[in-house]
């Protein structure tokens, strides 16, 4: 039989990824007590290779949380990006089109490390390897969260629960089917990604559409590159040697970039499926969903991590207003406010995905429409401005 201990906090945060840690820091700065639970180890969380493009709003939130100093020193500020269609290169000047907004290249691993360090410096409690996490009475006045650690069952009594535990976490699963509605589109391909300690092939990100499929040339620093190619969703990763990947990437990049590509051994290789997913509502009683627990976007628009940040902005403001002013309007409006921005980001990510990928059932007409959309977008200042405004991030 396991023993049971109980503690109390104001907000229990489930998930110690960027969403949960960012929320914990923003609340800590406002004097609100939190406990963060994470089912994996800290090393496992840091080992996940994820996004690296931060919107202006995400970068500002990191600074507000007190975790932006290293990003400001080491992050790469990008004022534009390139779209390529069958070798035809067009630059999108983000800064000029938006009146000054930019994006920052800074890997999610480094961002997470910074937030972990800030949490530790603040003396906050983070419980890693918390097993069997369960949410109790989320719709009541006294919600609780239980978990098992070192053979003992622990319980946290709290005012609110923030579900930042990802697509497969317990938080969304704790909302009854009669309350929750989900929307999903699964795309018939994936992204094969390779990370290498090689200099980037270009100074800015390059999104390329080729007859063989999509490719993306990205980076994490001036000496570390991240490349992607479209592949079948059921591709066998073991069949993709480094040499095969580099050869395929060269085929899909414009000739001048292919000739300049510096190759090297992979540090990591993986295949990510592409899907669009949204859950509604984002609140059930005193349980709030944020980040991947609430939504998934295809990575084409660089919105996943950034969309989680806007959730956290809205949720942190609502909780701070509740504790500071006893006001519940922010909590009551959180779901609708966050979902309005979520669906805009879903639209942009869907549009980028439709524009730049080769679909297996695509007809010659569909191919011509993709080309027409590319021309319409890159030759119209209004269309380019819309692309740029979405890419750097819509206002919170």
pLDDT digits 0-9 by tens, 200-247: 999 999 999 999 999 999 999 999 999 999 999 899 999 999 999 999
Determine the pLDDT at residue 380: 96
CB 303 within 8 A of CB 52: no
CB 194 within 8 A of CB 200: no
| Full 3-state SS string of 230-263 | EECCCCCHHHCCHHHHHHHHHHHCCHHHHHHCCC
pLDDT in tens, 333-389: 999 999 999 999 999 999 999 999 999 999 999 999 999 999 999 999 999 999 999
Determine the pLDDT at residue 374: 97
Q: Catalytic one among 106, 147, 187, 207?
A: 207
Active site residue 299: yes
Nearest-angstrom CA–CA distance, 332 and 335: 7
Active site residue 207: yes
183: how many CB neighbours lie within 10 A of its CB?
12
Determine the pLDDT at residue 353: 98
Low-confidence ranges of the chain (pLDDT < 50): 1-2
Active site residue 303: yes
Residue 35 φ/ψ, nearest 5 degrees? -125, 135
Active site residue 78: yes
Residue with tokens 């003396």: 123
Active site residue 391: yes
Going along the chain from its start, the domains and CATH numbers come out as: 4-77+103-184+275-353 (3.50.50.60), 187-273+359-392 (3.30.9.10)
Structure tokens that stand for 302 in this block: 């660089």
Could you tell me the strand order of the sheet in which 125-127 lies?
125-127, 34-37, 11-14, 160-163, 287-289, 283-284
- Report strand pairing: 213-219 vs 206-210: antiparallel
Q: What is the pTM of this model?
A: 0.94
Residue with tokens 């704790």: 174
């Amino acid at each position: 039989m396991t023993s049971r201990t109980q503690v109390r906090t104001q907000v229990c945060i489930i998930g110690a990824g960027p969403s949960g840690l960012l929320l914990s820091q923003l609340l800590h700065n406002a004097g609100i007590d939190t406990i963060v639970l994470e089912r994996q180890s800290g090393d496992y969380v840091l080992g996940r290779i994820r996004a690296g493009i931060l919107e202006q709003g995400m970068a500002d939130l990191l600074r507000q949380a007190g975790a932006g100093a290293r990003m400001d020193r080491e992050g790469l500020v990008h004022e534009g990006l390139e779209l390529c269609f069958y070798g035809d290169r067009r630059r999108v000047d983000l800064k000029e089109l938006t009146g000054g907004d930019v994006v920052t290249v800074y890997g999610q691993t480094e961002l997470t490390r910074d937030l972990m360090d800030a949490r530790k410096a603040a003396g906050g409690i983070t419980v890693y390897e918390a097993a069997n996490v369960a949410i109790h009475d989320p719709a009541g006045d006294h919600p609780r969260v239980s978990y098992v650690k070192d053979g003992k069952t622990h319980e946290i009594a709290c005012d609110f629960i923030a579900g930042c535990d990802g697509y497969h976490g317990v938080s969304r699963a704790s909302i009854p089917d009669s309350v929750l509605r989900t929307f999903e589109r699964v795309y018939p391909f994936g992204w094969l990604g390779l990370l290498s300690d090689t200099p980037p092939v270009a100074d800015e990100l390059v999104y390329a559409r080729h007859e063989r499929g999509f490719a993306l040339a990205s980076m994490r620093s001036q000496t570390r590159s991240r490349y992607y190619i479209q592949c079948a969703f059921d591709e066998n990763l073991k069949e993709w040697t480094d040499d095969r990947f580099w050869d395929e990437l060269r085929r899909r990049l414009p000739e001048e970039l292919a000739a300049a590509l510096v190759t090297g051994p992979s540090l990591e290789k993986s295949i990510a499926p592409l899907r669009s997913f949204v859950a509604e509502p984002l609140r059930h009683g005193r349980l709030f969903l944020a980040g991947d627990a609430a939504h998934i976007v295809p990575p084409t628009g660089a919105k996943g991590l950034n969309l989680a940040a806007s959730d956290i902005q809205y949720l942190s403001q609502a909780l701070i207003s509740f504790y500071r002013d006893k006001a519940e309007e922010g909590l009551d409006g959180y779901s609708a406010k966050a979902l309005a921005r979520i669906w805009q980001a879903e639209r942009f990510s869907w549009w980028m995905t439709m524009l730049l990928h080769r679909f297996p059932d695509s007809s010659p007409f569909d191919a011509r429409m993709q080309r027409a959309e590319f021309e319409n977008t890159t030759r119209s200042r209004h269309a380019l401005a819309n692309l740029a405004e979405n890419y750097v991030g819509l206002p919170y």
